[in-house]
Chain A
Amino acid sequence: MHELGIVFHIIKTVERVGDENSLTNVSEVTLELGEVSGVVPSELNDCWNWAVKKTELMKEAKLLIETIPALTLCESCGKTYGTVEFGRVCPYCGSENTYLVQGREINLKEIKAC
């Protein structure tokens, strides 16, 4: 259950930010989720809805997910392309000398609270 572990880390981060900002009730948490982060959004939501009930700070909080598209850069020709569609081999020049520039992120973007 990978998503449950991720949810615990989100909650921990929100609790720290809540502490720093003297928040009493978090109503929304927005997450930026990379397309190839390996996290399944629907699973994440299920785990979230279960886990927040056990907290004080974010009992009713909704989880909003914004997707960050996965992009790969080809070192050989310098072009960027969609990772999910083309994978590791550059569709422009056929090179395998490529690396992921974005798409693995799991970022806490913002918190709506009072």
Chain B
Amino acid sequence: MDKIRIIEVKESIFEDNNREAARLRARLKNERTFLLNLMSSPGSGKTTTLMRTIEELKHEFRIGVMEADIDSSVDAEKIATTGVKSIQLHTGGMCHLDAGMTEQGLNELGMENLDLVILENVGNLVCPAEFDTGAVKNAMILSVPEGHDKPLKYPLIFTVCDVLIINKIDVLPYFDFDLEKVKEYALMRNPNLKIFPISAKTGEGISAWTDWLRNQVGDWINAD
């Protein structure tokens, strides 16, 4: 019988994932593929926003979509109607995607011939924020009916995102949603956050968001 030893590790359990994510980002750079990680709660209009975004950009970039869900392929079927390549990733009960699962999805999707891949993460404001997927940029959608206090309740996701899309502004008159308050709360947590108020339904504000994304993708895939 070997002697029992104590091994001091002292490292975050996210360390391995962070390393894998960094490696994936380097691979994406090599392949000249931009990966956007899109997060939100369920029902925020993520799929509708995505479809609008695809319509705006599909003639300029070769786009692919990965839909992460615990089960079902409802969203992937909707996305397929836009004509872009999409696959459904089933997390098998898990509440988030990590870098390893994201890379598996990218391999299946075939990132070599794509300029922009959008990962629709599992609908939830807590767990997806903890795991770096390897994406180049992170965006989240918050919708008007969810309330303007979300940055106070779920601060982490607001700190890890580059972009906050505020969706469903067409229903602002019917809700006690203070657009200035939400901006103030979100910027308090993340002063570099870009904020785009939109209505995926009417199309209002969409071009400001897609202009930003177009520039980001262009910079990434054309970089030396």
Q: Report which A residues bind B (CB closer than 8 A).
A: 1-2, 4-6, 9-10, 12-13, 16-17, 21, 23-24, 27, 31, 38, 88, 96, 104-114
Contact = CB atoms under 8 A, between A and B. Distances in A.
Interface in B165-220: 188
A15 to B, nearest CB: 10
A38 B96 CA distance: 14
Interface residues of B, number: 29
A96 B188 contact: yes
A13 B2 contact: no
Interface of B: 1-17, 93-96, 98, 126-127, 130-131, 152, 156, 188
B188 A13 contact: no
Contact of B16 (A4, A13, A24, A111): A13
B4 A114 contact: yes
Contact of A2 (B11, B98, B126, B152): B126
Nearest to B91: A5
Contacts of B98: 5, 9
A36 B171 CA distance: 34
A113 B11 contact: no
B12 A107 contact: yes
A17 B8 CA distance: 10
Summarize B's interface: helix, strand, loop or mixed. mixed
Given A4-B94, A9-B17, A107-B13, A114 B3 contact: yes
B9 A110 contact: yes
Nearest to A27: B4
A6 B96 CA distance: 10
A62 to B, nearest CB: 13
Ranked nearest first, the 3 interchain pairs of A and B with the lowest CB-CB distance are A114-B2, A108-B9, A9-B13
Contact of B94 (A5, A17, A107, A110): A5
B7 A21 contact: yes
Given A9-B98, A109-B9, 10 more contacts: A12-B16, A13-B15, A21-B5, A23-B5, A23-B7, A31-B13, A38-B130, A107-B13, A109-B8, A114-B2
Contacts of A104: 156
B190 to A, nearest CB: 12
Contacts of A24: 2
